[in-house]
């Protein structure tokens, strides 16, 4: 899933400062799961923004809406009437959703209320961890299912680097595991350590030429 975090409040308030009527649009997929941009979060942020504005002696009309997936043009289209009635759109969806809104409603300023951070999965309550870098050249078969591109802070293919801390923690952040120690342990457990002894040549960083595009093959 895509993980995003709400932007600092000052930034959001500044973005919509010139406007009196704004649509706050959420998404019920990834950002709802990570408690950033679902219907509930839309309600809370809308309330906060109204309080912020009235606190400064002003007034703002925040229209609240959520779609199932903000990255789908057809779903976003359902908001057209609401969008027509506002001056700007503030979106709590991930970057893909925000840009879909911006592309579909080309004449309206669309603002990001979140910073989209990574692809990952939940780990316990309220914690999400990055585990995929969308590099287009998946290496998981060679590392026991642990991605060295994003779970290693330096993204190296022949690890570990000399910076591993005591207990197998990462040079960069002592709270984070050294991915290559994790890979070593996983492959050892499976009796496939030979994979780690192999030399891996430099990565093809152009496997996905940005902006990426994929076309499904039609029968």
Binding residues for another protein (CB under 8 A): 9, 13, 40, 43-44, 47-52, 54-56, 153-168, 171-173, 178, 180-181, 183-184, 193, 196-197, 199-203, 205
**Whole-angstrom distance, CA of residue 129 vs CA of residue 106:** 34
Helices (H) and strands (E) in the chain, counts: 9, 7
- Least Å from the CB of residue 159 to another protein: 7
**Whole-angstrom distance, CA of residue 201 vs CA of residue 17:** 51
By C-beta, is 11 or 78 nearer to another protein?
11
- Least Å from the CB of residue 175 to another protein: 13
By C-beta, is 117 or 164 nearer to another protein?
164
- Least Å from the CB of residue 166 to another protein: 5
Please state whether beta strands 21-27 and 88-91 pair in parallel, antiparallel, or not at all (unpaired): parallel
By C-beta, is 1 or 19 nearer to another protein?
19
- Least Å from the CB of residue 74 to another protein: 29
Give 72-75's long-range contacts (Cβ < 8 A, gap of 24+): 72/100, 73/100, 73/103, 73/104
């Amino acid at each position: 899933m895509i993980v995003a975090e709400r932007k600092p409040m000052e930034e959001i308030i500044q973005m919509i400062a010139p406007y009196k009527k704004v649509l706050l649009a959420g998404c019920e997929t990834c950002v709802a799961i990570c408690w950033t941009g679902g219907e509930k979060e839309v309600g809370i942020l809308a309330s906060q923004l109204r309080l912020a504005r009235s606190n400064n002696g002003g007034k703002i009309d925040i229209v609240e809406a959520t779609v199932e997936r903000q990255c789908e043009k057809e779903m976003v289209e359902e908001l057209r009437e609401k969008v027509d009635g506002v001056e700007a759109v503030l979106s709590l969806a991930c970057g893909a959703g925000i840009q879909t809104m911006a592309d579909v409603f080309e004449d309206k300023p669309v603002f990001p209320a979140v910073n989209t951070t990574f692809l990952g999965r939940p780990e316990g309550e309220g914690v999400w961890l990055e585990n995929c870098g969308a590099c287009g050249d998946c290496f998981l078969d060679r590392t026991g299912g642990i991605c060295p591109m994003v779970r290693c802070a330096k993204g190296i293919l022949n690890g570990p680097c000399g910076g591993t801390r005591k207990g197998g923690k990462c040079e960069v952040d002592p709270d984070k595991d050294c991915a290559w120690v994790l890979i070593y342990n996983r492959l050892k457990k499976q009796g496939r350590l030979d994979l780690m002894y192999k030399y891996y040549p430099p990565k093809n960083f152009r496997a996905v030429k940005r902006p990426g595009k994929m076309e499904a093959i039609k029968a």
